[in-house]
Chain A
Amino acid sequence: MRTLVDRRRFNLMLGAGVAAGALGAAMPRARAAGKITVLNWQGYGTDEAWALKLFAEQTGIEVVHDNYNSEQEMFTKLRTNPGAYDVVVINSAWTSRIAEEGLLEPIDFATVPNAVDLDPLLKDSGNFVFDGKTYGVAWVWGMNALGVRKDKAAGVDSYDVLLAPESADRVALFDDAITEIGIAALMLGQKIDDPSDMPAVIDKLKAMKPSVKLIWSSEDQWNKAFSAGEFDYSIYWSGAAGRSQKAFNLPVEFIVPKEGAIGWLDGLSVPASAPNKAEAVSFINWMIDPAFYVKWATDVGAPASANTKAMDELPADDPQKLIHKTEYLKQLQFMSPMPDERRQAFVDAWEEVKAFYAS
């Protein structure tokens, strides 16, 4: 999932300095109540030094980290290092698959007081559920949908704008098979990660040929081309749209059209083999605390919180708050796990479409 990696890379850049100090800062603890190990991407929230210091002062629990660089690596580490981790950040597309192997502990929400403020649509997401039990606490989320130039955004409420005659040569698509196949599937009313009619999906994408001007592959490239006025309509990331507005002052409006959008959701889980389960749950509770989120989001930059109270406490003009409207949640299809053969079929289909655009 390149989308997610890129998003995290951004956070990684922002948080790298802070993260470097995280382990050292956590060492001198107030009370010796225990030590937990968190498995996560580097520089992605859980290793904010100030947050770990506060947590240690309040609970006496020291937090250390181990990192992964891909979801596959995270899965492998859980499988091969039982007893090594107390908390793990998992893209919810993977949670049920990992729970199925008996590697996760079910969550008892009575022990997570802050969970009452979680948006029910995210808290009860089917992605967390296996065999009737919930194996993850919803943490942060984001979307892939339309990023449109402000003066062209009026009345845009459908992905059909990507096919409209007035969009000729004014569209930028994202160079990611899973996203683009997913968008075409949404247009056809199919499932984003398992479309029932792949040939129709391919035809839909091919029909965009007269509109497509470029295919972007990094946030930086999108920002440069957009500010040079090279396109008006694009498939874009919700978090990146907020950064483009705030950091580069670009007139982009993020629109979730009537067909819906592609969503991703990260959760916090406790491995079944965790040595310190109670301490792990209290750390998870801190991670979904509005006090943690607001400082993380405003000082460093973060995706949208699953905690509605945390989103409410953001400043009223915060672009991430304006973009990640809770009513959108009803319109999202969340990414879910994908077998290797289907991933290959997606990449092949997108490759065929790109070759058609170029011809």
Chain B
Amino acid sequence: MSEPQGAAPAPRSLRPGTVTALLVAPAYAWLTLAIFLPLVAMLVFSFLTVAPFGNRVAEFTTTHYLVFFNRPYLVEVALRSLALGAWTTGICAAIGLPAALALSRAFRGRTRELLFFLVILPFWTNGLVRVFSWTMVLRENGILDDAVRVLWPAAPSFGLLYSQPAIVIGLVHAYLPYMILTCYLSVVAIDDAVLEAAKSLGARAPVVFWKIVLPLAAPGLIAGSVLIFVPVIGSFMEPRILGGKAGVTIGTVIEDQFTQAFNWPLGSALSFIMLAVVLVIFAVFSRALRGRLTAS
């Protein structure tokens, strides 16, 4: 096919501002529709006595925000959810940063591409399938036990399924790619000359890591932690399936309010309280981290 000669209209010139607005508009329209409006609706619901469906009359109330005082057992649930978030994020960082370093420093070309593919693979598998395959691995006399018994036939069963560690394992598997990718972006930007300079000045590997790599990788670590910590606190699928009776988190409590109690207002209020808690934690941490980074 050939372009019709001379028939093309002269391109109209648009001002750069208009172009930017046009390019950005679809994204913002989508965000408004898909995120902002539902969030506002949920915020409104959280101040109502009942969800205003059918012929039920909703009135204004703030009692849902006192839920942690009215139901003290939820405090423990919330603390356990935060601990779950801390463990998952910590383990992701402990595995993800070395993996990112290896990817950026030790591998090149095809090998690196293949390893990246393996890192991203969990993203492409259905979450439910992933979690159910973990149940087969972790359960008593499951694949993990069988594997250990190949080396040590009399090994006792791990019996990890239906416990807090099982939930952490499932969550780490799901969220590790975020940490590896964000860390990789930070680490790959570190100039080799900086590391060589440190070594030539006599710094041993641990010192190089602590004084140079870690501070320079911090933006990636922080971004990865934010991406992981928030969804883990609200997770409900992994706790339900891998946690057994240990699988009670703020996420499952919120889910029950929506699906079992039809109490959308309480579910929304719990979500916003947890959002506030997370924001406070990040505010404290980012201040502490900024202090540490500028000091070093």
Contact = CB atoms under 8 A, between A and B. Distances in A.
Interface of A: 2, 72, 76, 175-177, 209, 212-215, 217, 221, 224, 228-230, 340, 343-344, 347-348, 351-352, 354-359
Q: For the complex, would chain A's binding face be called helix, strand, loop or mixed by DSSP majority?
A: helix
Given A72-B54, A224-B132, A348-B71, A215 B247 contact: yes
Interface of B: 50, 54, 71, 73-74, 76-77, 80, 132, 135, 139-142, 161-162, 240-241, 243-248, 252-253, 256-257, 259-263
B76 A355 contact: yes
A347 B248 contact: no
Contacts of A347: 256-257, 260-261, 263
B262 A340 contact: yes
A2 B261 CA distance: 10
B241 A358 contact: no
A358 B247 contact: yes
B244 A343 contact: no
Contacts of B140: 228-230
Contacts of B132: 224
Given A224-B135, A343-B262, A213 B244 contact: yes
Nearest to A2: B260
B241 A357 contact: no
Nearest to B259: A2
A228 B241 CA distance: 14
The 7 closest A-B pairs by CB, nearest first: A214-B244, A347-B261, A358-B248, A357-B245, A355-B73, A354-B248, A212-B245
A359 B141 CA distance: 26
25 contacts: A72-B54, A175-B240, A177-B260, A213-B162, A213-B245, A214-B244, A224-B132, A228-B140, A229-B140, A340-B262, A347-B256, A347-B261, A348-B261, A351-B253, A352-B71, A352-B73, A354-B248, A354-B252, A355-B73, A355-B248, A355-B253, A358-B77, A358-B246, A359-B76, A359-B80
Contacts of A358: 77, 80, 243, 245-248
A357 to B, nearest CB: 4
A98 to B, nearest CB: 14
